Amino acid sequence: MLSHRSFVWFCLLPLGVVTAAFFLLPMARLLVTGAEGPQGLAGYFAILSEPRYRATLINTVLLSIATTVTTLIVATIAGIFLQRHRFPGRAVLIAMLTFPLAFPGVVVGFMIILLAGRQGLIGDITNRLVGEKWVFAYSIYGLFLGYLYFSIPRVILTVMAAVQKLDPGLEEAARSLGASPWAVQRDVVLPALVPAFVASGAIAFATAMGAFGTAFTLATNIDVLPMLIYTEFTLAANFATSAALSVGLGVITWCILALARSFTGGAVAAAG
């Protein structure tokens, strides 16, 4: 007969095995590989000291932050509107907005090229209007657009679900106390959505940090970390550097998310 305690341990065993096999072991191996380059442990600092790596890192972080913030703003406005209004064509619009959910990054990149590439739609239009072809698919702006396209559907769905769960009484109470529609949004609606912002923002940010497909299709003039890891790994066969960069990518993403969470932590607890 198992005691209660050992029964719990027994149940946790499969979880432990899976965690070890698919998570801890490869991670440990990655950590070790990162320190096996010619520079040893110092290989980890190359990501900060080597100018090319550092520039790429800063690019990636800035791009991901910009993507997250823009996505949150766009998705919040759209999500609140879509959840609060019933109009003909609403279902079609939601379907269209969430259609890109299934697209891999490569397809998103391809669509950005169709839009802003050398033969793209925007180039055509600007060529006719101002006699100059605007091509930005392969710059950081194209990448930014692609990342937005990728993350907006995910965040919209989370925001819509959170808005649906809001007690309409809260807004009515605020209005009865004299709050203008703008004050209601500021004091009641947005604070109540903070947990949803943190959750979906974290996913948007992490996805942008690690996005590969879109970058692979578009990033010819600019480097982002996942691309850098890919080139170091497959082209230069530089295992140690790519492992160190991978660990760096993970750690930095984690740190920024932890920071964001601690800033909003009080708000999340209060809104809970």
Partner 1 sequence: MSIVSGHGAAVRIEKCGKTFADGTRALELATLDIARGETLVLLGPSGCGKTTMLRIIAGLELPDPGGKVLFDGKDMTSVPIERRNVGMVFQSYALFPNMSVAENIAYGLKIRGMPKAERTARVAELVDLTNIAGLENRRIDQLSGGQRQRVALARAVAIRPGILLLDEPLTALDAALRERLRSELNRLLRALGITTIYVTHDQAEAMELGDRVVVMRKGAIAQIGSPREIYFAPKDRFVAEFIGAANIVEAPLVNGQLVLPGGQLPIAGEGSRGDAIAMIRPETIRIVAADGSSLSGTIDSVSFIGDRQRFVITGASHKPLTVDAPNTIQAKAGEQVGLSISPDAVRLLPSEN
Is residue 175 a contact point for partner 1 (CB under 8 A)?
yes
Q: Does residue number 174 form part of the binding site for partner 1 (CB under 8 A)? A: yes
Shortest Å distance, C-beta 176 to partner 1: 4
Report 248-267 residues binding partner 1 (CB under 8 A): 267
Q: Which is nearer to partner 1, 131 or 169 (CB)?
A: 169
* Min separation Cβ 51 and partner 1, Å: 45
Stretch that binds partner 1, among 91-99, 105-113, 155-163, 178-186 (CB under 8 A): 178-186
By CB under 8 A, residue 272 contacts partner 1:
yes
- Compare residues 51 and 88 and give the one whose CB is closer to partner 1: 88
Q: Which is nearer to partner 1, 62 or 173 (CB)?
A: 173
The DSSP code sequence of the chain is ---HHHHHHHHHHHHHHHHIIIIIHHHHHHHHHHT-STTGGGHHHHHHHSHHHHHHHHHHHHHHHHHHHHHHHHHHHHHHHHHH---TTHHHHHHHHHGGGG--HHHHHHHHHHHHSTT-HHHHHHHHHHS-----TTSHHHHHHHHHHHHHHHHHHHHHHHHHHS-HHHHHHHHHTT--HHHHIIIIIHHHHHHHHHHHHHHHHHHHHH--HHHHHHTTSS--HHHHHHIIIIIS--HHHHHHHHHHHHHHHHHHHHHHHHHHHHHHHHH-
Instruction: Give the binding site for partner 1 (CB under 8 A).
Output: 167, 169-170, 172-180, 183, 187-188, 191-192, 194, 267, 270-272
